[in-house]
Structure 1
Amino acid sequence: MAGWALCLALVLAALAGAVGESRYEKFLRQHVDHPRTSALAAHRYCETMLARRRVTAPGRPCKPSNTFVHAPAEELLATCMQMPDAAGFHSTPRPMGLTACRLRGGDTRPPCAYRPRQLQHHVRVSCLDGLPVHLAGTHPPLQ
């Protein structure tokens, strides 16, 4: 009986944690690093940030890619006021500094190894109630 109560308590605690973070807060945790965390070795930035931000975790598959935007959250918030494209996504009016992390090799099991790329791209987001909730991709500025 005590085991059942403990199991139920753990499930309720996990649900409370999941409910406690809004989609916007999850977006910020997974994608915004402003100002860019600079105390990290450049080649370990992705692994460290993805673990620190709880995007990757032991026992879970490696995420194939993740992008960190190095601009204030307010700029991404303002993007939701831009006219959406045909697919319903909103793009930043000007390029932003970002780090694109791509999984290296074919192994999707931890330890996860990523290749970081520093870019200046426009960011595409989907918005809900005026807040960015999903990073849909990036694209380079028009030349």
Structure 2
Amino acid sequence: MKKVLIALDYNPSSEKVVMDGYKLAKSMGAEVCLLHVITNLQYYGSQYPAFMGFESMNLSYDPKIHDEMKNIAREYVSTVASHIGDETLKTHVAEGDTAKAILDYAKAWGADLIVMGTHSHSALEKFLIGTVANGVLEKTTIPVHMIPVKIE
């Protein structure tokens, strides 16, 4: 394994995904890239507690601020990367359907492994909306390492 892509969302549970994925990648001597996908800009208006040095925003969604929100997403992954303190760590922000964007970037970057978290959702939520993890697993040709995280 030479390249490990770590997908993170804007939730404090991503800290565990990033740290566990980073340790795994480094144990294999792999290059690491943190990927964040902007799929629904309304998430950025959510108020989450600070984690990995990143303070959440308290904004209302406004379609006119799309570019500003992309900059905030870039700042987010940059802040997470600086928290790790590895100057070789790469970051990327993509847009679109989350599962598709993860798979597309993993292929384009040449990832050997995708690391992502699995959130606890109710059976009804999984049935109605599915999960990003399921979307990735259904279509991937790249091995995926899942890190279970529980949303409290």
Same fold (TM over 0.5): no
Compare the two structures and name the one with the higher helix fraction.
Answer: 2
Higher relative contact order (CA 8 A, sep 6+): 2
* TM-score, with length taken from structure 2: 0.28
Compare the two structures and name the one with the higher strand fraction.
Answer: 1
Larger radius of gyration: 1
